[in-house]
Every structure is written in structure tokens, then in C-alpha cells.
Amino acid sequence: MDGFGPDHLPYGVFSVAGGPRRVGVRVDDGADSWVLDLFAATGRPELERPSLNAFMALGPEAWRETRQLAAELAGSLRHAVPLADATLHLPVEVADYVDFYASEHHATNVGRIFRPDGEALLPNWKHLPVGYHGRAGTVVESGTPVVRPTGQRRGPEAPVFGPSTRLDIEAELGFVVGVGSELGSRVPYDAFAEHVFGVVGLNDWSARDIQAWEYVPLGPFLGKSFATSISHWVTPMPALDAAWVDLPGQHPEPLPYLGPGATQGLDIDVEVVVNGEVVSRPPYRTMYWSPAQMLAHLTVNGASLRTGDLFASGTISGAEPDQRGSLLELGWGAEDAFLDDGDEVVLRYNAPGTLGGRITLGEVAGTIAPARA
Ligand code: MN
């Protein structure tokens, strides 16, 4: 069982045989997979909850203590439940959800596809991490069927109404906020570790035909808000201590509040699997904007953070054609590149661990269900 050893210890929410939901940590011992029952081990009330939120709100000192305890339990498998006996649930009660657009390769590809005669990147792109507010209430757990959305798209004369014919994925990483901030204050780029609890895999399902018709001038709306899937497991930031890497480089230099030269990206490899076949391997280390810069930008106007806030990277695309994180880019806009009913998409992630091997982040799966009348 690769990637869930003692250097990983991701958090999730589980139940057994219809019992109450509670916080657990996954560990594999080489033969079997287990969930460590943290409430049973500690009696801490914040761990006997149907989401990670109460625990995350305790802050970094409690996170460190609990991770230490989980490492001890993992060694002895005390309070361990077989993963096969556990039902996993959405790990976080998502407060606000923001999606960025932080890959230069993705933004350039999309610009070329949608605006072949214009500049690929718009003038603001290298000065700020572009983003939009999404719909927190439709963030769903891995495995939730995705019902094909219905809506308006551009037609030859008048808009056409019906099920989307260009249903797509966006392979992304999501960052989960544990500790909030005060309204009116900023979270500086060097305070990332005080606020961000961990990372989830994230698929920002996108209906390109609905999106293309509606997005000017206010940005994504119904083409995105029908579903966003996240992994069951939240990888805590310390498990990624060995994965930090320098950004590819930022020119022109961003404004001081974005900490030019002072923040890093993450060396996380992504796999996009459609109907069992790997169709792409996007590298997160190629992203232009860092997670800390996204957080600093998200709060520079004084917008407060809340426990459970989720902010995502935007589609992860590398420089090569087989590193693109959306079907729009992989098919370069071709009409038959998109998802059919019954198609299954799985996003997988792995990163360097702190013991010299690699850790496997939680995967994100979803199958397309037919549109409803
Ligand atoms: Mn997205």
C-alpha cells in the first residue's frame, strides 16, 4: 500500500456501520489499510464531529500535537479500524470556495483556444492571481455522481437550451483553511502556515458551452457551480515539507504584498485517468503563482477567512501536450473531446514524502450521470 505510510497520515471523516461520523487518520502498514479513530484515542470533543472544522479551528499547536499522537498510534495500530469497514464522508464543511487560475500554461492555452486572434494572456494575469468565488454548497466528496448540467449555450441565431455537450474536468489542488482571520485585516504571504491546514485533490467540473456563453463580463457562474469534487483525505501541510520547490520565475516582479521571491510552489505530480486510462500527467511544480500568494491576494482587500474556506489552484497544466489538466486543452477545443454519460474520471496525486519515498494524496473520482429532465 504505497503512499500512506507514517510520513503521510492524512485526515478524513469516517463512520462504521451507520454509527456517528468522527475524525480519523489513514495509515497503511504494508499489508492492510486502517483508519485511526482519533476520538477513541483522545476523548477530545473536536474529534467527535461530522467534519474536520472544529479540529482545524484549534490551530497549528493542536495540529502538531495530534499529528504526533497519530504517528504513535500508527506504530501500534491502537484504535485502528480496517479501512474496508469504514465509510468515508466529505471531510470539510466548506465555508467559502474560491478558484484561482494560477497556471501560465493553462491560461495561455485557454487564451489561444478562445481568443485565437488576441493576446493569449490578458494584461492583469502576471500582476495578480486571477480568481473567482465559487459555490461552497456544491462541493461534494469523491465518488459522488456528477449529473450532466443543463443550461443555455450560444446557438447560430438564438441561445440553445439543453444538457451541456461540452462537459469537462479541471485537475486542481485545493487548500483548506483551518484558522480564520479578522474582517478588515490581511493575511500576509508569510502567514500561510498559520492558516492553512492541508491539501485536497479537487476536480472543478466545467460545462464549457454554458461557460463560454455566460462568462463575459462577470466570470464563471453556472458552467462551474453544479459540482466540485474533493478527495476524502486531507493531507496536512507538514506531510508536504519535502515537496516545496522554487517557482518557475515571475516576470515582471509582482507587488510587494505578493512576496516576490519569498514563496514557493509544491512538487506534486498529478495523473488524470479517464475510464481507466491515464490521459495526462500535469506537474503542479510548474504553476506560476504560489499557494501563499493566492492566500495573500484573497485577503489583501480585508476579506476575512473562515475555518473551512477552500481555495483551489486552477487547472494544473504543464508545458507539454500530455501535461494538460483539462479535456478542452487535451483536445484543443475539438467537439468530441468532452465527457460522455457513464465516463469515469479519477485524479491521482503523489509527492515527495519526508522519509525519502513518495506519498499518495487522496484521489478524486466521479462518474457522469445523464442530465435530468
Ligand atoms: Mn477551475
C-alpha cell read off for 265: 510552489
Q: pLDDT over 70 for what percent of the chain? A: 100
Distance from residue 314's CA to the centre of ligand 1 (Å): 4
pTM over 0.85: yes
How large is the average pLDDT for residues 176-191? 98
Work out the angle at residue 352's Cα, subtended by the Cα atoms of residues 346 and 356, and round it to the nearest 5 degrees.
135
For the structural domain made of 11-89, what CATH number should be given?
2.30.30.230
CB neighbour list of residue 330: distance below 8 Å, 6 or more residues apart: 279, 280, 321, 324, 337
Model pLDDT for residues 254-265, shown as the tens digit of each residue: 999 999 999 999
Distance from residue 289's CA to the centre of ligand 1 (Å): 14
Cα 25 to chain centroid distance, Å, stands at 19
Model pLDDT for residues 337-365, shown as the tens digit of each residue: 999 999 999 999 999 999 999 999 999 99
Model pLDDT for residues 199-209, shown as the tens digit of each residue: 999 999 999 99
Distance from residue 42's CA to the centre of ligand 1 (Å): 38
Residue type, 300: V
- Enumerate the domain spans of the chain: 11-89, 97-369
Angstrom distance (rounded) from CA 45 to CA 84: 25
C-alpha cell read off for 108: 495561455
- Note residues around ion ligand 1 (Cβ under 5 angstroms): 99, 170, 204
What 251-256 contacts at long range (C-beta under 8 Å, 24+ apart), as own/partner pairs, is 251/126, 252/126, 252/127, 254/126, 254/127, 254/128, 254/293, 255/127
- Predicted confidence at residue 333, as pLDDT, reads 80
Distance from residue 362's CA to the centre of ligand 1 (Å): 18
CB neighbour list of residue 115: distance below 8 Å, 6 or more residues apart: none
Angstrom distance (rounded) from CA 53 to CA 136: 14
- Predicted confidence at residue 1, as pLDDT, reads 46
Count of C-beta atoms within a 10 Å radius of residue 304: 14
Distance from residue 22's CA to the centre of ligand 1 (Å): 30
Cα 57 to chain centroid distance, Å, stands at 20
Domain with residues 97-369, CATH architecture: Alpha-Beta Complex (3.90)
CB 290 within 8 A of CB 250: no
Distance from residue 101's CA to the centre of ligand 1 (Å): 7
* Catalytic residue numbers, as ranges: 106
